[in-house]
Structure 1
C-alpha cells in the first residue's frame, strides 16, 4: 500500500498492493460511516467496478434513488471522488468500494478506468506531478510570495505572544496572591476568559494549557496541589518564552512549539522499515488528532506521526497496528525530535511476523522519562517498550510488574497503569493476552502512570507472539 503526506499521491516502483479490511476501516471518519460502508461493501448493488495497477479503484452504486452514484478512489493518496451529496470524506460509498476491493471480490476485476473515472484520476495526478516538479526544482509547493512580508508577520505574531505571556504572568500572580480556594467557586470564569485572551495573542499552546487548569480543579480530591503544579509549569513556559533569546536552540524550538508556533520538518530524511506500534484518535472539539507511533527496524528510532481531521474527515494516514511501511521520515525540530513527517514511500515490504522491539524494565522506563524531562519540562509522557512485565491488580487499579529485574532476578519494579487506561477494553485484552505470564508492552510512561497501547506475547507457542495486539 502506498500513502502520501498532505494528501498527495506517491509513485510506486511497481503495482500498488491491495489493502486489508482493517486498513480500509481505519479511514472511516466516524462509527456511522464505518457501519454504512461495511454494509455497502457486501451489497450486490455495485456495477461497472474495477481497479488497475496504479492504485485506482472505481465502481457505480445503484441505491434507492433514480441516479446511481459514481465512485472512484486513488489509493496512492488516498483521495476520493463520489457523485453522492455526502460531506464526509471518505463517504460510505468510497468505504464500501474499498472494502469490496480489499476482500478480493470478483466484482472489481483489473482493467482500464472508464472515461468518468479516468478524467478525475488524470486531473488529480497532473496536479500532483506539477507539485512534485516544483519541489524537485527547489521551490516550495506553497509559501509566502514576499519573504520580507512573512518576516514582518512573524515578528508581529511574536510580539502578540509576548504580550499574552506577560498578561498571563499577571493573572497567575493574582490567582496565587488571592489563594487557590477561589478557583473552586461556582461561576469562576478565569480559565475561559484567560484562554480566550491567549487565543487573541495567537498563542494556542498557552490557551490549551490554561483550559487544562480548569479540568484540574474538577479532578477530585487533592486538586489544589495538582493545580499549583500545573500553574508552576505554565509559569515556567511563560518565563522561557520571555527569555527565549537566551535558550539553546533545541530548547528554544521546544518552547516555540509549546506556545503554539509551528515549524516545518527539517534535516535529512531517515528511510527504514517502520513498524506501526499504535494508532489512536483524540477528539478536541470539532478537530480530531491522530497519533501514530512507529518503530524503525534498522535505525531503532521511535517516531510519532501527528495529523488532524475536521468537519467529519478522518485524519490520515491510514496505517493499522502491525503494518510495516518502507518509507522516509523527516523529524521536526525540538527536544527529543520524536515527531516526524511521513515522506516518500516505497513498495510495501512482503508480509512478515512483527516481533516486538527491544524493551526495558520499569525502572529503565522511568529513567527514560526523567531524561526526556530535562529537555522538555512540559512533557506529559515518553514512549517506551516494557519487556517481560505482568499485569496484576493493585488496589483500585492495575500495575505492570517486572517478571525479572535488570540482573535477571525475579521480583523487579512496577509501574501503575494510568487512570485513563483503566476504563478501556484494551486493559482486559492485555490481561487476557498475559494470562499471568510475562508480555512485552508498548505505551507511554508519564507522571500519571503507564498507558499501554500495544502488546506482544512472549510465549512462542501463542499466536499473539506475531503481534502486536492493539490495546487502543
Structure 2
C-alpha cells in the first residue's frame, strides 16, 4: 500500500464535514450495512455503492491522493461537499476491519478519476504558459480610486454616527435596538466597506450581551473610531500598518509575498456563516519554518466552501502571504503531495506566554480579536460554572471563551485530558481561549474540537 493509501482516523474524516448535520448523517453511514462493492486502490481512490431510498444505489467515489486535496463524486442529489455518503464511505474505509479491501476500481470510478487527473494536468499546463493580460491597468486603477472614494464617504458617515451616539449617551443604543446598527451596516455595504459593516453589526449585539455592556460598547466604538481614522489618514501610516487598515475595512488585496515551500500540518478547520456567506478557516503549521498560517475559503449561503483538509494530516505545498502587519493569512499555491499522517506538532507555549503573544500582536494590529497559539502541558479545569486551561507547571490559567464553554465538543477535551496535561492548539484573545485541536501528552492522533 502506498503512502497515498494510508488510512485516516475517524476524527480526520469527520473534520471534513461541511456542517454538524452532515457529520451526524455521515456517521450513521460509516458501517458496512448500506454499502456494497466498496474498495480502494493504491492510487488513492475509494469507492462504493450506498443503498438509498430509491431502487438504484448511489455511486460514491473519493479521490484522497490528489495533491489539490480530497475530492468527491456521488450520484445523490445533495449539494454538500462532501455529502453524507462520501463521509460514510471514508469512515468505512478508515476502519481496520477490511470492509473496504484493496482492488481495481469499477469503470464509473475509473472514468471520474481519469477525468479529474486529465483536467488537473490541463490546468497545470495552461498555468505554465505566458497567460493573457490581466486587463487594462488604467481601468483597474480608476476602479480602485472610485472604491476608495466610496469607502472614505462611508467612513466619514460612520464617524458622524459614532459622534451622535456619544453625544446622546450610550443608553440610546439600548433603546434604539438592533435596527439602528443594521441600517448603518447596510450603508457601509453600499460604501463597499465590508469590514466596517461587519464591525458595526457586532455593535448591535452588545446592548443585549448582559451586565457591563456599556463598557464593552464604548471599547468597541473606540476601536471602530480608530479604524475609521486609520483609513482617513492612511497616507500618513507606515506601509505595513496601512495594509492592515485596508484589510480591516474590507480591501484584502492579493497575496503578494514570495512563495514559501514547507510541509504543512493541518492544525484546525472550522466554518462560520452569516445570511450570505460561509467562511472556512483552516490553520496550518509549517514544520520547517515554524510558522502558523491561515487559509480562508468561502461558499455561498447554505453551501460549504470547496477547500477541505483533514485535521492532523500534513502535505507539502507553497503558500504566499497577504500584505499587512502580523498578517497570518496566506494563499495556497502549488501542492506537491497529498495529505498524509505525519509526526509533526507545533511548539507549545505556557498560558502566560500565550497571553503575552496576543498583547504583542495588538501593537501591530489593534483590531485583532485573537492569535493562533499552541499550549503545552495545559489542563482543563473547572472555574466556577465555567472552564479554563491551567498551566500544569505554573500558576496562570486562561479562561475559555463563552463560545467554547457552550460548545458540545468541550467534553472531548476534558475526556482526552482526564486531569492530565495535554497539548492544545487554539485562538487566544481578549475574550479568552478557544480550543480547536488537542493531542495527548504522551503522543497520539490529533483530536479536532470543533
Superposition TM-score tier, normalisation by shorter sequence: 0.7 to 0.9
2:14 to 22, 25, 32: 25
Q: Do residues 421 (structure 1) and 404 (structure 2) align?
A: yes
1:227 to 217, 238, 242: 217
2:270 to 260, 263, 280: 280
Structure 1: which 4+ aligned runs deviate by more than 6 Å?
none
Shift, 1:138, TM fit: 4.7
Q: Which residue of 1 aligns with 2:352?
A: 363
3-state SS, counterpart of residue 433 of structure 2: strand
Shift, 1:444, TM fit: 2.0
Shift, 1:251, TM fit: 1.2
2:333 to 318, 340, 343: 343
3-state SS, counterpart of residue 251 of structure 2: coil
1:81 to 64, 67, 73: 73
Q: How does 1:205-244 map to 2 (within 5 A)?
A: 205-244=195-234
Q: Do residues 442 (structure 1) and 432 (structure 2) align?
A: no
- Confirm or deny: 8 A CA contact 2:4 2:338 kept in the other structure: no
* Inter-partner Cα distance in structure 2 for 1:183 and 1:230: 13
1:190–1:270 Cα change, 3 Å: same
Shift, 1:209, TM fit: 0.3
Task: Give the structure-2-normalised TM-score.
Answer: 0.86
* Inter-partner Cα distance in structure 1 for 2:162 and 2:302: 37
Q: Which residue of 2 aligns with 1:466?
A: 444
* Inter-partner Cα distance in structure 2 for 1:393 and 1:437: 14
* Inter-partner Cα distance in structure 1 for 2:438 and 2:78: 38
Query: RMSD of aligned C-alpha atoms?
Result: 3.1
- Confirm or deny: 8 A CA contact 2:38 2:99 kept in the other structure: no
Task: Give the structure-1-normalised TM-score.
Answer: 0.83
1:371–1:38 Cα change, 3 Å: closer
Q: Do residues 152 (structure 1) and 145 (structure 2) align?
A: no
CA deviation string 1:159-207 (max 9, x = no partner)? 2111111111111111111111111015562101000111111111111
- Confirm or deny: 8 A CA contact 2:32 2:99 kept in the other structure: no
Shift, 1:451, TM fit: 2.2
1:125 to 117, 126, 144: 117
CA deviation string 1:17-37 (max 9, x = no partner)? 554443333333333433444
3-state SS, counterpart of residue 189 of structure 1: helix
1:399–1:60 Cα change, 3 Å: closer
3-state SS, counterpart of residue 309 of structure 2: coil
1:381 to 362, 370, 390: 370
* Inter-partner Cα distance in structure 1 for 2:306 and 2:34: 29
Moved more, 124-133 or 249-258: 124-133
Shift, 1:324, TM fit: 2.6
Number of residue pairs aligned between Structure 1 and Structure 2 = 446
- Confirm or deny: 8 A CA contact 1:52 1:113 kept in the other structure: no
Q: Which residue of 2 aligns with 1:111?
A: 104
1:113–1:323 Cα change, 3 Å: same
Q: Which residue of 1 aligns with 2:126?
A: 134
* Inter-partner Cα distance in structure 2 for 1:71 and 1:468: 27
Unmatched 5+ residue regions in structure 1?
2-12, 405-410
Shift, 1:412, TM fit: 3.5
Moved more, 26-35 or 242-251: 26-35
3-state SS, counterpart of residue 185 of structure 1: helix
1:145–1:14 Cα change, 3 Å: farther
CA deviation string 1:95-132 (max 9, x = no partner)? 34444444475666432551x44544444433332322
- Confirm or deny: 8 A CA contact 1:425 1:471 kept in the other structure: no
Q: Which residue of 2 aligns with 1:270?
A: 260
Shift, 1:399, TM fit: 3.4
3-state SS, counterpart of residue 326 of structure 2: helix
* Inter-partner Cα distance in structure 1 for 2:428 and 2:410: 15
Shift, 1:72, TM fit: 3.8
Shift, 1:136, TM fit: 1.8
